[in-house]
Amino acid sequence: MAHADHHTEDLLRDLALRAARLRKDIVQTVYDAGSGHPGGSLSCIDVLTCLYFHHLRHRQDEPKWSDRDRLVMSKGQASPALYSVLAMAGYLPHDELRTFRKANSRLQGHVEIKVPGVEFTTGSLGQGLSGAVGMALAGRLDKKDYRVYCVLGDGETQEGQIWEAAMSASHWKLDNLCAVLDRNGLQIDGPTEQIMSLGEIPKRWRAFGWHVVEIDGHDHNEILRAFHEAEHVKNMPTLILAKTVKGKGVSFMEGSLSFHGRPPNKDEYVKAMQELDDMIERAQTMMGVAP
């Protein structure tokens, strides 16, 4: 866990390359499975990359280390993103991603706790933040300084349980809790503002007693700064409102409703992989690594 407010170019280039490779893993995983949720995985992958490859205190060779920071993936359909990150971090063999959504695999369609590195089972939306509140309370009881992170979908915050949890986190002054709202603007049936308006999100969360930071959820520097800021907020939980693009990184998936919950077909797959290979190559060039 780094606390520097200024992030070196080397770090940002490393994160950019990792995020590009992870985007490719996500598309490959969903394509191999023949089903899954690429759009919302691609929108939150920059946040996950910054957490697992810089900010989060964790040990891939000791997943149950008691002092680790916890991450709850409340939007459990973004399993391709989390599983790709856990594979890159060394929690699971990279080849295991090919078993995603297949019988006898550990990698179920939605995120679950039996996978090393996963803290909480999710899938039916709205439940993760309560679990994160419980983990934050346990940390306080045990006088541990670990932090708890929770990634929320924006459509997910239409669930009432999210607001019960939000109320309790500020009531108990859980400054060791930080939620990230992946604001990609789309849910299955359409844009959130058409289906069930989320209104002025910062106002709503502030009214519930949260510190709110608004960022570009694809800008690694802003993401890291926001996590750093959250660590210094006292007596209240922090919500990072990460403005993102659903399907980010694959031109024809960006802002697409259709790729919420379907894999690319063969042609789309080939095109997506070409685009992501180009992205990886650019990132490598930036790092001075021969492609």
Partner 1 sequence: LSEFALTGENPKYKTTRDAASQTIINLARKDERIVVLDADLALSTKTVRFGNEFPHRFFDCGIAEHNMIGIAAGLATCGKVPIAATFAAFATGQVYNVIRQSIAYPRLNVTIYATHSGISVGGDGATHQMLEDLALMRSLPNFAVVAPSDATETSKAMEAAIENPGPTYLRIGREDEPDLFSDFDDFRLGKGVTLVDGSDLTIVACGTMVKQALAAARHLKKEGTSARVIDMHTIKPLDGALLEKAARETGAIITCEEHMVVGGLGGACAEELAQRYPVPMRFIGVNDMFGESGSAKDLIEKYGLAPKHVEEAARAVLLAARPAPAPRPAAASGRT
Say how far apart CA 128 and CA 131 lie, in whole Å: 5
Closest approach, Cβ 216 to partner 1, in A, equals 30
Among 14, 32, 164, 254, binds partner 1 (CB under 8 A): 164
Say how far apart CA 147 and CA 126 lie, in whole Å: 20
Among 36, 38, 117, 131, binds partner 1 (CB under 8 A): 131
Q: Which is nearer to partner 1, 167 or 270 (CB)?
A: 167
Closest approach, Cβ 75 to partner 1, in A, equals 14
Residue from 126, 131, 115 nearest 79 by CA: 115
Say how far apart CA 266 and CA 148 lie, in whole Å: 39
Closest approach, Cβ 66 to partner 1, in A, equals 8
The footprint of partner 1 on this chain (CB under 8 A) covers a number of residues equal to 34
Cα-Cα end-to-end distance for the chain: 29
Displacement of CA 211 from its chain's centroid (Å): 19
Stretch that binds partner 1, among 16-24, 91-99, 118-126, 201-209 (CB under 8 A): 118-126
Closest approach, Cβ 94 to partner 1, in A, equals 25
Closest approach, Cβ 22 to partner 1, in A, equals 25
Q: How many CB atoms lie within 10 A of CB 276?
A: 22
HSE-CB of 25 using CA atoms within 13 angstroms: 28
Percentages helix, strand, coil for the chain (3-state, rounded to 5) are 50, 10, 40
Say how far apart CA 29 and CA 31 lie, in whole Å: 5
Closest approach, Cβ 123 to partner 1, in A, equals 6
39-98 positions binding partner 1, by CB under 8 A: 66, 72
Query: Does 113 engage in binding with partner 1 (CB under 8 A)?
Result: yes
Among 91, 120, 149, 208, binds partner 1 (CB under 8 A): 120
**Which residues of the shown chain bind partner 1 in the complex (CB under 8 A)?**
66, 72, 112-114, 119-124, 126-139, 141-142, 160-161, 164-165, 167-168, 172
